[in-house]
Structure 1
Amino acid sequence: MKNQIKILSILFLLAYNAALFSIYQKTPSSNSERYKILNDSTDLALEDFMRTYEVWSNSSASIRTQITLINENDSLFARAYIDRHNSWLKKDHNIDGTLFTHELYHARLAKAVAKELSEKINFYGYSREKALSKLSLYQEKLNYLQAKYDSESNHSRNRTMQNYWEYKIDSLYNNGAHYQVFDGVSAFFPTEPRNHTIITLDDTISGKKNIRNDLEFHIWNLKRVKIDSAERFNYFVYIISWEDLKDIFVNIESPSSNLIMSGYSKNSINSKNVFDRLFFSKDSNYYFARYSFPLHDLKDSTYLKIGDQFFNSIKFDSK
């Protein structure tokens, strides 16, 4: 009986000390900066995970994000912020930065929702009282989206959905912003595209390129102004096939829009599905757009939705 009491006493002391340690970890130090405001020039960093991880948790990381209202230059803005004393990361689980990237997009999602509220405040000229009433609604929206992001991506374990959510969050933050890729031609890219040139057997083609993890977005200006219908098809197939793509399928679309034809093929070397589009603008230029992603069951429409959004975003100014 005495031994049982002694064992129970030891267990109680251990539990009590563990509870005290947990409380100590949750109590912010007066010398550290607990809250980090996020804006266009600030993002999540490894040093923002100030809290020791919860050893009893099944999760490998946690980030606490919220939205607040602040005054800047006599104007009212919504800003996302990180509670750094309630954010933690098991660094030994951060293989190849995958876990950190997942948490980074939690922070960027908070920035996107805060930016949306800021734009509403500015557009409608909300008073502080009105903005405060909207703040709680947008915090609820953020909480809902954060939970949905975790659920659908399975906390980054589902690579397909993680890619999809990163693209979606970038889209939300950029608010569908189009980049002017050529004179009179704009398109939506997740982030600002870079110059990209390809060299075929008889031509050098300049364009723009953006890579978002395993997803690639391209658009090139072909600058070929005199192509009849037959040559159009042959040239489109030529551009696709010179890269040694396999299983090429070409579909001739209705000429009622800028889209002339579309193609699908596989890059067996890099294990990618490749979707191509040929556009014709009113200034008599041809534009070749491409979207590619890892070889994947096309019955899953997740990646296809991203491609549709990219192709549908390509706009030509009327002249």
Structure 2
Amino acid sequence: MKSKIKIITAIILLIYISILSIYKNDRKEQALYRYKIITDSTDLAPEDFMRVAEIWTRHDAGIKTGLTLLNSQDPEVRTYIDRHSSWIREKFNNPDKSLFIHELYHVKLAKAIAKDLNEKINFYGYDRNTSLTKLGIYQEKLNYLQGKYDSESNHSRNKLMQAYWEYKIDSLNNFGRHYNINDEVSVFFPTPPKVQVWQFSDDTLYGKSAIVNQLEFIILKLNPSEIDSAYLVDYFANRIFRENNKYNNIDFYSIPNNSILFGYSKDTINRIETHNNLIVDSQFNFYLARYVFPYFEEQDSTLIKVGERFFDSIKFKSDSIPPKTT
């Protein structure tokens, strides 16, 4: 009987040692991939969520990001993901991937903070010790902003604030860049814009546009053949602003910042709001600036403020004198 117990005990011990060895090797192998450094060509991927989903939380996902300092001679800050502390409940990840996108913007926020610190290091010529000190300060700033992002967006459940934070984070990453529409006009987009083409039966308009979440920003160069006020009202108010009979609130008056016509519309069927701004440069070239956003249940003036920032970012290389519209 005792010999059987010894044999069983030995077998159990061997099994335990084998399992422990496999576990240790597996952990050692996983440790090689625990931290992922984010570069210009890499981003968050589904396989980066290596941790088993938390069971003692009401949240459906979690990600841990941080800042690290590379190089000793020329310090460079990079964002990293702690994969072992990142998890997602796939069954809650909607077909639109809203949960994954929310976590992705945590990474983009960390990249924006790293970019800001790198610019400071390069501008002031910080050595490694000073850079390490600044790194700690910026890590605290990042932690604060990550918490604020989660709180205001309610972990992506507040669609309005999620859209706003995506715009804000993209703008931080694209900060300082203006894109030329032509030699006279440039504008800031939260993300690199694409060429925009509007095709009419007798005209083609070109410009640029960018989309962040469900927010769209557009600027087009227009081609009116006259600058007579009656013609402008007919061309812009009836043709551009009222396309598809959507635009029913048009005010024709002079307002600052090169704007001569402003209009907005609310498409209650598709639940879309559109704001248009007609602007003119010193050479009497006309441009249509537009931002479009959806209705949300908790709608307020937040997204309108975002759109107005887009309008305000339009810059002319020379002073503009709007034509008289009498």
Q: Normalising TM by the smaller chain, what interval?
A: 0.7 to 0.9
Residue in structure 1 matched with residue 179 of structure 2 by the alignment: 179
Name 1:44's counterpart in structure 2: 44
> Does residue 61 of the first structure (1) align with residue 61 of the second (2)?
yes
Match of 1:93 in 2: 92
1:290 partner letter? R
Q: Is the 8 A contact 1:28 1:85 kept in 2?
A: no
Q: Distance in 1 between matches of 2:156 and 2:298?
A: 21
Q: Once the 2 structures are TM-superposed, how far is the Cα of residue 68 of structure 1 from its aligned partner?
A: 1.0
Q: Is the 8 A contact 1:225 1:284 kept in 2?
A: no
Q: In structure 1, list runs of 5 or more residues that go unmatched.
A: 1-23
- Please state how far the C-alpha of 1:123 moved relative to its aligned partner: 0.3
Give me the whole-angstrom Cα distance separating, in 2, the residues matched to 1:160 and 1:176: 25
Matches within 5 A, 1:266-281: 266-281=266-281
Tell me the amino acid that sits aligned with residue 39 of structure 1.
T
Alignment of 1:163-174 (within 5 A): 163-174=163-174
Matches within 5 A, 1:3-152: 28-31=27-30, 32-71=32-71, 74-96=73-95, 97-152=97-152
Q: Distance in 2 between matches of 1:251 and 1:148?
A: 41
Taking a change above 3 Å as real, the CA distance of residues 197 and 234 of structure 1, as seen in their structure-2 partners, is: same
Q: Measure, in 2, the Cα distance between the counterparts of 1:129 and 1:199.
A: 57
Distance of 1:175 and 1:257 partners within structure 2: 21
Q: Which residue identity lines up with residue 188 of structure 1 in the other structure?
A: F
Secondary structure of 2:40's aligned partner: coil
Alpha-carbon distance in structure 1 between the residues aligned to 2:81 and 2:69: 14
**Aligned-pair CA distance for 1:217:** 1.0
- Quote the residue 1:216 is aligned against: 216
Deviation of 1:212 after TM superposition, in Å, equals: 1.8
Report the counterpart of residue 242 of structure 2 in structure 1.
Answer: 241
TM-score by length of 1: 0.86
User: What value does the CA root-mean-square deviation take over the aligned residues?
Assistant: 2.3
- The offset of 1:115, in angstroms, is 0.6
Percent of residue pairs identical: 51
- Please name the residue that 2:3 is paired with: none
Measure the CA separation in 2 of the matches of 1:268 and 1:297. 13
8 Å contact from structure 2 (residues 167, 213) kept in 1: no
Opposite residue 245 of structure 2, the aligned amino acid is D
Instruction: Indicate if the aligned counterparts of 2:160 and 2:299 stay in contact, CA closer than 8 A.
Output: no
* Structure 1 residue aligned with 2:10: none
Partner of 2:254: 253
Partners of 2:134 and 2:67 lie apart in 1 by 11
The alpha carbon displacement at 1:148 in A equals 0.3
Unaligned runs of at least 5 residues, structure 2: 1-22, 320-326
* Structure-2 separation of matches of 1:298 and 1:248: 23
Change beyond 3 A, Cα 1:297–1:241 = farther
Q: Which residue of 2 aligns with 1:287?
A: 287
| Secondary structure of 2:137 counterpart | helix
Q: CA deviation at 1:243?
A: 2.6
Of residues 298-307 and 51-60 in structure 1, the stretch that sits farther from structure 2 once superposed is 298-307
CA distance change for structure 1 residues 232 and 277 in 2, over 3 Å: closer, same or farther?
same
> What does the per-residue CA deviation read over 1:40-92, in whole Å, with 9 as the maximum and x for residues that have no partner?
211111111111111222111110001111118x4211111101111111111
Cα distance between partner residues in 2 of 1:212 and 1:91: 24
Contact 2:247-2:264 at 8 Å conserved across structures? no
Amino acid at match of 1:89: I
Partners in 1 of 2:196 and 2:223 — Cα distance?
15
Q: CA deviation at 1:199?
A: 2.6
Q: Say whether the 8 Å CA contact 1:225–1:286 is kept in structure 2.
A: no
The answer to whether the 8 Å contact 2:226/2:232 transfers is: no
Instruction: For residue 30 of structure 1, give the secondary structure of its aligned residue in structure 2.
Output: helix
Which residue of 1 is the match for residue 194 of structure 2?
194
Question: Aligned residue for 2:19?
Answer: none
Counterpart position of 2:8: none
Question: Computing the radius of gyration over CA atoms, which structure comes out larger, 1 or 2?
Answer: 2
